[in-house]
Structures are given as structure tokens and as C-alpha cells.
A and B are shown apart, each in its own frame.
Chain A
Amino acid sequence: QQQVKQSPQSLIVQKGGISIINCAYENTAFDYFPWYQQFPGKGPALLIAIRPDVSEKKEGRFTISFNKSAKQFSLHIMDSQPGDSATYFCAASKSNTGNQFYFGTGTSLTVIP
């Protein structure tokens, strides 16, 4: 059973546009929601993360929006750049399980110059 559902599977955006990736979860015990960025041949690297006590977190061009009642969270990439082309994974974890992360299925983002 997929604990975290992610969409879309792939996304093509023009340079300067906004990229939006969505995730949904079922387990209300999750209390940490990171986004990871993965380039080909590399391991995933943390991009930005949020906890359920806030509805939004912004770091530079990257923003997480969190809707606790809907059990959804999304990543917004403003002014998307070709260098943002990568695979993005959302994830969720709960404190009392030793940091086991449940990952979404990934979104392959391509930013066209």
C-alpha cells in the first residue's frame, strides 16, 4: 500500500514558469514532510521540509504548502530554471518509528529553456 501518493509522474515547464507537484498521505501520525531532489547518478538530497504545525514554508524559490485537514502537501518551484530539472520525491515520516521515511513515487521535472 502506497503510504504517500505523488502526482504528476512527469512535468514539463517553461523557464520562468511555476512547477507544482502534489502529494497526499493517509496516516495522520506522520509529522514530518520533506521534499527530496535527485539528479541522475546521485542520491536524493533534501530540498525543503515542513511539519504539520505550519501551513507554508518558503526557502528561496521553493515553497511547501501544507493542508493538514486534506492530508495534502505540495511543492511549488517559482521561476523554474533548467537547473531545476531533476526528479522530486515527497516523503513522510512519524517520530515514533525511528525515522522510517515513506516516499512518493517521484516526479520527473523538465524545465525547457
Chain B
Amino acid sequence: SAVISQKPSRDICQRGTSLTIQCQVDSQVTMMFWYRQQPGQSLTLIATANQGSEATYESGFVIDKFPISRPNLTFSTLTVSNMSPEDSSIYLCSVYPGQLNTEAFFGQGTRLTVV
């Protein structure tokens, strides 16, 4: 199993500013994922963060808007840059600590409100 600590749990930010979300895992994992969950919506994958390489972004998400760091096998950050109200959402990190297709673990999420 994996225990994920995600910070902050929530924040209210001004338009045009940036917020960095941290994800700390209690064990080493190869792949970490960042998802966005808009109010009442499903989870949408933003990017895959591998240690030692640049993150891989899904269609509709770009590095300039959502830069990701992955300095080691237990930690990652997602920055939401130049925020607008449309970025108000829950951001979740997720890991797969085992072999392929085993359980995915999620952090509790960061609820972001942009005003």
C-alpha cells in the first residue's frame, strides 16, 4: 500500500497568481500522476511524472500552465500557474506502488478556488 500526503488541502488564490501543490509518498514509486477533478465531474489526467525525466502531459494540458517537478521517488509538485477562475478544481496526485495494474492510491486532494 501507499500513504500519500498532499499539501495544501485547500487554498483560495487570487487570479493571476500561482500555487504549488506538494505530494509526498511514504514509499518509493516509479510513476506519479496528477489529476484534476472539476466540481461534480470525473477525474482527468493532467500528466504523468517520472523521476529523472520530464513529465508527460495529456492533451489539453501544457507544461507552462502546469509545471511539474519530480526530484526523487517519493515526492512531486504540481504548480498551477497564472490562475484563472476556470482553474478552480480539486487536484489529486496518485501513485502505483506495485506492478502494473495494481491498486492506484490517491492523495486527499487539494481544493483550489481562484477568485
Chain A residues close to B by CB (< 8 Å): 6, 31-32, 34, 36, 41-46, 49, 51, 89, 93, 95, 98-101, 103-106
For residue B55, CB closer than 8 A to chain A, the reply is no
The answer to whether A34 and B103 touch across the interface, beta carbons within 8 angstroms, is yes
Chain B interface size, as a band, is 20 to 34
User: Quick check: B45 and A41 within 8 Å, CB to CB?
Assistant: no
Having A34-B103, A99-B96, one finds 13 other A-B pairs with CB under 8 Å, namely A32-B101, A44-B43, A46-B103, A46-B104, A95-B101, A98-B48, A99-B33, A100-B48, A101-B45, A101-B104, A104-B42, A105-B41, A105-B42
Known contacts: A42-B109, A43-B92, A44-B106. The answer to whether A95 contacts B100 by CB under 8 A is yes
- Whether B108 is near chain A, meaning CB under 8 Å from some CB there, is yes
Contact of A100 among B4, B41, B45, B109 (CB under 8 A): B45
Contact A49 B42 (CB under 8 A): no
Give complex CA distance A61, B65 in Å: 43
Q: Which 9 A-B pairs have the closest CB atoms?
A: A43-B106, A32-B101, A103-B43, A105-B42, A103-B42, A46-B103, A99-B96, A43-B108, A44-B106
A41, B101: Cβ atoms under 8 Å? Answer: no
In the complex the two chains form, what is the Cα distance from A46 to B1 in whole Å?
11
A105 and B43 alpha carbons, distance in the complex (Å): 8
